[in-house]
Amino acid sequence: MQKKKTDLALVDTETAAQLIADGGILAYPTEGVFGIGCDPSNTDAIAKLLQVKSRDPSKGLILIAASIEQLATWIEPLTPAQRQRIGDTWPGPVTWILPAKTTTPAALTGGRATLAARVTAHPPAVALCLAAKTAIVSTSANLSGESPARHPEQLLSLNGLDACLNAEIGHLAGPTPIFDVSTGIQLRA
């Protein structure tokens, strides 16, 4: 049963982490917009998240983490050249397209050999990843094609969210920029 548009619970970090562990879909603040996420190892939760967002699975998803170690399950070890390219952008508000492990679900990669990921420095997102003890899916909180939510009341248009982490977004003007680690080319401003 989907939640009514008027009853999105605001929860603390521990409750949010338990919701993710239980397969729920959580809205939470990122560096510039609200994101929605779930446990990246739970294929049912990913399918539900894609449905909530009306997102084409072939687009893939982003993972957000508190450390690069939290991404180790899904990405290949980075080469020295790749680490140098990422440089001082992590932790920080920059998403990188990285080589995915062959075991990374297509629901995350969109069927590609790469995965978008970010090691965040935004305190509420860091705390959430640490409490959840995993990287989490991070896609902007909006229906596909619409503007990302920057205020909690904008989340009410998304049916199927279980709760929202009660914290503020960061100071970035919008979603994080995305770069390709193999070329250094910026893919999203």
pLDDT digits (tens, 9 = 90+) for 53-98: 999 999 999 999 999 999 999 999 999 999 999 998 999 999 999 9
What is the residue range of 130's domain? 9-188
pTM of this structure: 0.93
Which pLDDT does position 174 carry in this prediction?
85
Domain CATH number, residue 113: 3.90.870.10
Task: Determine the average pLDDT of the residues in 137-148.
Answer: 92
Question: Looking at the domain assignment, is residue 33 inside a domain?
Answer: yes
On whether residue 117 sits in a domain, the answer given is yes
In a domain, 2, yes or no: no
The answer to whether position 103 is within a domain reads yes
pLDDT of the residue at 2: 45
Contact by Cβ (8 Å): 3, 155: no
In a domain, 1, yes or no: no
Torsion of CA 55, 56, 60, 65, to 10 degrees: 10
Q: Distance between CA atoms of 156 and 153, rounded to whole angstroms?
A: 6
Quick one: pLDDT at residue 51?
95
Domain count, the chain: 1
- pLDDT, position 153: 87
Q: What pLDDT was estimated at residue 144?
A: 85
Tokens at residue 62, please?
């982003």
SS3 73: coil
- Strands, sheet with 136-140, edge to edge from the N-terminal-most edge strand: 9-11, 163-165, 26-29, 34-37, 136-140, 62-65, 114-119, 95-99, 178-180, 186-188
Spatial distance between the Cα atoms of 150 and 155, rounded to a whole number of angstroms:
9
Residue 189 has pLDDT above 90, yes or no: no
What is the per-residue pLDDT for 63? 98
On whether residue 106 sits in a domain, the answer given is yes
In a domain, 3, yes or no: no
93 belongs to a structural domain: yes
What is the pLDDT at residue 3? Answer: 41
What share of the chain has pLDDT > 70, as a percent? 97
